[in-house]
Structure 1
Amino acid sequence: MDERMLRRRVYGADHEDPDPGPRPGRVYGELVGGPLDGLLLDITGWSGSRLAEEVRLPTEIGRYGPGGRTHYRRRSGGGTERWDWTGDSP
């Protein structure tokens, strides 16, 4: 894991966690764009078909506020490293 990723926060980590960064032995994708830009998504153990699906992540900071979801899809040709924002839903 490179130095840049080690300083990032993982999606879903508690805001009060003193170490919200990535853990050794885990695999992460970087969320790009949208309300979760720059966070890491733990994709450890995901199957090829799961990696090909769009993820819908609950967030309070998206277009629809509390109860809303923001959507990300793995960048084509980019391996698992980058996940691009595709929009928000209620």
Structure 2
Amino acid sequence: MISETSAVAFRQNLGEMLNQVQYRHDSILIKKDGKPVAALVDARLFERIRRMQARFDALCQRIEAGYAQLPEAEGLAEIDATVAQVRAGR
């Protein structure tokens, strides 16, 4: 479950919220002036997010290397055409 709280309430209830995340595996979205600024997540979830980020970064590097010799405008046009084709097939 994801709950939301203000930065002030988070600061006042830090211990309780840590328990909520640790034992119930909940996540807490922390807002400041009504806007999301941070999230408190369980350490296992955070590790999964880090691994996914590393895989995403590696994939982006492979894509970038594949388009390295192509002029930018031509590469972007090819990407746009592929995205449009995939969306049309849905």
TM-score, normalised by the number of residues in structure 1: 0.22
Higher relative contact order (CA 8 A, sep 6+): 1
Higher percent of residues as strand: 1
- Normalised to the residue count of structure 2, the TM-score between the two structures is 0.22
Q: Whose radius of gyration is greater, 1 or 2?
A: 2
- Structure with a larger share of its residues in helix: 2
